Amino acid sequence: MSHRRLVPAVLVVALLVAAACGQKSGVEGTETAVAADGGGGGGDTGGGGGEREPGENDTAGITDTEIVIGIHAPVTGASPIPQETFDIGKDIFWNFLAATNPEALGGRTVRVVFRDDEFNPNRAVQVCREMVEEEGAFLLVGAAGADQITACAQYADENDIPYLSLGVNTEGLEGLGTYFAASLTYEQQNAIVIDQIEAAGAEKVGVVVIDTPSFNGAHDDFVDRAEEAGLDLVVDDVISKTAGESEAAAEAQELKNADAEIVYVLLPPTVYLSLAAAGRNQSFEPVFVGPGVTNGLNAVTRFGCPNVANGQFLSPFPELDVINEIEPDYIPAYEQFGGGTTPDDIGLALWGLNETLFLMFEATGPELGRAAFMNAIEAGETFEAGIFPPITYSTDDHFGGSGAYLLAADCSIDQYTTDGELIEVDD
């Protein structure tokens, strides 16, 4: 599949001029509202309507003193992110909550268990089962990795276990009664990306997507939107999940030969890094764009600069450059509970997920159980944790995201920076 490229410096200004504006708490100023055309949202994705009844293991992972959460992510095989980053970041919010509001959650503490799913769907199911059966997890969270999230979410649905993840594909997830997306899906983000490309004035677009059925829906949705917008898709390729230097070099050469201005990618960080490096070796440096989350993490710029200098990706959370304006507790809490490590954006993402879960636990009330938890979050209440855009679910819509931030690589500091305001998606 093919990629698309953006004009870095003027992009946000063009977006603000081109789209409708509104006010939002967070980074001060206006934000862009973009129609999502229903992609990835709505549909028959709920629990079939009506109140859920408690099952046999309804209160597993809940005691009078503790709640257990299981999180999985691919820290090996797909991304250059050390497991220590997850091990530290997963506990920061809960330690902060216990220190500042010890009576919250009925005085319970939260124990978070983490497993590396190794970028392998079968391994993801194995570690999710371990976290439920051996560690007693009440619910499960997928931090990244579409295929692994899909596999584990299906396991969770079969066992009536609540499962949340950052928004990824909808293939294989629509119709799962216990799955809830905590941010925009790839399809929903595509609407924003198309507006970015149009605002940048680019015409020749390349698309490169890893070869997995999970991405078929997002790919087809993007191609449809691009064609409707009159963009010229000069390359539309798939690439293997484990593409090496030679495959990446061949793909970069094809994109260069086609004069692709923008390259839209749905790739794991390791493959994106290889493709960007291959392009630069061939004096081909398009702007890489696409849905979030993993290619917009600072681990990518730290390992990939200067090759990824033109990367611009969407994300459900802003970067560290503006976090004090949006969540002033994050950095002081990380400095207090992070064991002397430097606050990072993995911790930021985990803070946002955990704060969202806290709001959902509070909405459920003191009688926590899996059925009660899912009934509560399907009731139409909006959960606004601060770092993440607001999330709202119903019994027939478990894709509750409402917006995204645009992150732009800054290789002068080897980090992503937040490029403008929250971009909201219209229903």
237-253 confidence digits (pLDDT tens): 999 988 889 999 999 99
- Residue 210 neighbours by CB distance under 10 Å: 23
- What pLDDT score does 420 carry? 87
Round to whole Å and give the CA distance between 263 and 290: 8
- Confirm whether 11-39+186-317+404-426 and 66-185+326-402 share one CATH topology: yes
Domain 11-39+186-317+404-426, architecture per CATH: 3-Layer(aba) Sandwich (3.40)
SS3 breakdown of the chain: % helix, strand, coil, rounded to 5? 40, 20, 40
Residues in contact with 223: Cβ distance below 8 Å, sequence separation at least 6, in sequence order: 1, 207, 233, 236
What is the pTM (predicted TM-score) of this model? 0.85
151-174 confidence digits (pLDDT tens): 999 999 999 999 999 999 998 999
Q: What is the dihedral of CA 273, 262, 185, 1, to 10 degrees?
A: -80
297-320 confidence digits (pLDDT tens): 999 999 999 999 999 999 999 999
Round to whole Å and give the CA distance between 415 and 301: 6
Question: 102 exposed, middle or buried (CB, 10 Å; 0-12, 13-18, 19+)?
Answer: exposed
Buried b (16+ CB within 10 A) or exposed e, 147-182: bbbbbbbbbbbebbbbbbbbbbbbbbbbebbbbbbb
1-35 confidence digits (pLDDT tens): 333 333 333 333 333 233 333 333 333 333 333 33
Domain range 66-185+326-402, CATH class: alpha beta
Query: What ranges do the domains of the chain cover?
Result: 11-39+186-317+404-426, 66-185+326-402
Residues in contact with 126: Cβ distance below 8 Å, sequence separation at least 6, in sequence order: none
- What pLDDT score does 427 carry? 60
Percent of the chain with pLDDT over 90: 76
Percent of the chain with pLDDT over 70: 87
